[in-house]
Amino acid sequence: MWLHPDLWKNLPLASYVTAIVCLGGCTNQPTDHQLEVWRKEAIARNAEIVADNAKKTRQSEWNLVIQGETATSKPVQLNWQQIFALANTHVKTTDANYAIQPSQVFDFRGIPISRLLNEFGYPADASEVTFLSYDAYQVTVSLKDLLTYPIILAIAKNGKPINRDQGGPIYLVFPHTQYPQLQQKYEETFWAFYVSHIVVGTEQVQLRVGKRTLRLADLDQLTQVTLTETVGYRAGWPSGKVKLHGVRIRDILAFADVQLPPQGEIVLQGKAPIFRNPTNPITLTVADVRDCDLLLATRWGDDKQPIPAKLGGPLTLAISSGCNAKTRNMRWVTFVEALTTKP
C-alpha cells in the first residue's frame, strides 16, 4: 500500500497526545504504534514551521532551480526577473484546490514546463520530472505529459500574483478544463504550492562534507548498513517497514576528515528551503551520530534499488529506532546535500 499525500495532513491531534505521556517513560524498544505517533508529531510540528517560514520569503526573492539530468547536469538558477520574463503562457482552467467554487475558471499565467525542458535539455530515456517545494513537499509528473500538455508553473492568477495560501508565488497548474483527461491523473495533490526546484530524472549523488564533495563511489567504499524501519518521509514511500541501505553519518564524517565537535552538533542540509534554513537548521546530536545508526541511504528495498527523485533520492536521511527520542522525532530529510558541524 502506498501513502496518499493526504495522509500527512490534517493529522488527528488526539493521536499524538499519547506520545507526550510516554516520552519520559518509554522503553528502549518503542512499538510501531509509538513510532508512528512520533512521526506524526514531528510532521505536525514541521507544518507549523513551514507555514511560518513560507510567509517570510517575498516573491521578489524567490528563485527557481532546474537540475538533474539536464543537458549540462549543472543546476540553473532563475531569479524572479527571469521567472517573470519566461512566464508568458496563459492557461484557463479550474483550480483543483479551489473548493469554494470548483467550476470557476481562472486565467493562470506561467512558464510552460515544456519550454524549460526544451531549453535546458533532458535525456532521451528520462521518464519523470519532480517538483520540489519550499516545505519539502514533492510531486512527480511524467515527462511525456509535460511535453504534451501546457502544464505550467503559474505566477499569476487573473492578472494578480498568487497568494501564499493559494500556492504562490509559484504554483504547479494543470490544464484541467482544456484537457479533462488530466483531471483524474493529476488531481489536487499534484498541484504543488511554492515550487522551488525542478529535478529532471534523478540527480547523481553529490554530498558536501567539510571541504570535500563525495560521490556515490566514495560512499560505496564505506561500511554498508541496512535499516528496516517505518519511514518518516513525506511522499511516495510505502507504509509499513521499509529497507534502507546506506552508510553511517559518523563514517562519512570520518572519511572526509571531519571531527565530531565534542559539545556541538551535526548540521544536515537538504535541497528544500526548509531543510537549509540557517535560523532553523536540521541538527543531529553528536551522541546520536556516535551511538546510534543515522544513515544516509543510497538504496532501498529488497533489491537495493537506487532512490529516485520521486522518493527524494539519490540521498536521504534514515533514522534508526535505536536513536534517542529527540532524533527519532526529527524530519526524515530528503534530497540530502551537505553535512557540516556546529561547535
By beta-carbon proximity to ligand MTE, the closer residue of 37 and 235 is 235
CB of 135 to ligand MTE, least distance (A): 5
Partner whose footprint covers residue 192, from ligand MTE, Mo ion, none (CB < 5 to 8 Å by kind): ligand MTE
CB of 263 to Mo ion, least distance (A): 42
**111 backbone dihedrals φ, ψ, rounded to 5°:** -95, 120
By beta-carbon proximity to Mo ion, the closer residue of 72 and 184 is 184
> Using CA atoms, how far apart are residues 166 and 74, in angstroms rounded to an integer?
31
> Using CA atoms, how far apart are residues 315 and 158, in angstroms rounded to an integer?
39
Partner whose footprint covers residue 140, from ligand MTE, Mo ion, none (CB < 5 to 8 Å by kind): none
CA distances from 133 to 37, 72, 90, 167 (A): 25, 23, 22, 10
CA dihedral 235, 239, 245, 248 (to 10 degrees): 70
Give 168: exposed, middle or buried? Use CB within 10 Å, 0-12, 13-18, 19+: buried
By beta-carbon proximity to ligand MTE, the closer residue of 163 and 228 is 163
**Positions in the binding site for ligand MTE (CB under 6 A):** 5-6, 9, 97, 133, 135, 137, 188-189, 191-194
Q: Is 125 in the site for Mo ion (CB under 5 A)?
A: no
Residue 153: which residues within 8 A CB-CB, separation 6 or more? 64, 83, 87, 110, 111, 113, 170, 171, 172, 173, 195
Partner whose footprint covers residue 123, from Mo ion, ligand MTE, none (CB < 5 to 8 Å by kind): none
Residues in the chain: 343
CB of 189 to ligand MTE, least distance (A): 4
By beta-carbon proximity to ligand MTE, the closer residue of 133 and 341 is 133
> Using CA atoms, how far apart are residues 267 and 330, in angstroms rounded to an integer?
13
CB of 234 to ligand MTE, least distance (A): 8
By beta-carbon proximity to Mo ion, the closer residue of 189 and 285 is 189
By beta-carbon proximity to Mo ion, the closer residue of 139 and 339 is 139
Partner whose footprint covers residue 193, from ligand MTE, Mo ion, none (CB < 5 to 8 Å by kind): ligand MTE
> Using CA atoms, how far apart are residues 210 and 223, in angstroms rounded to an integer?
20
CB of 153 to ligand MTE, least distance (A): 12
> Using CA atoms, how far apart are residues 82 and 66, in angstroms rounded to an integer?
13
Partner whose footprint covers residue 285, from Mo ion, ligand MTE, none (CB < 5 to 8 Å by kind): none
User: What element of type H or E holds 270?
Assistant: strand 265-270
What residues does 77 pair with on adjacent strands? 65
Residue 300 · residue 244 · CB < 8 Å? yes
- Candidates 3-11, 118-126, 141-149, 302-310: pick the segment binding Mo ion (CB under 5 A): 3-11
CB of 179 to Mo ion, least distance (A): 21
Partner whose footprint covers residue 137, from Mo ion, ligand MTE, none (CB < 5 to 8 Å by kind): ligand MTE
CB of 4 to ligand MTE, least distance (A): 8
| Site track 5-44 with Mo ion (rule: CB under 5 A), x = hit | -x--------------------------------------
Grid-cell match 551537505, residue found? 338
The gap between the terminal CA atoms of the chain, to the nearest Å, is 43
CB of 157 to ligand MTE, least distance (A): 15
Phi-psi region at 304: left, alpha or beta (left = phi > 0; alpha = psi -120 to 50): left
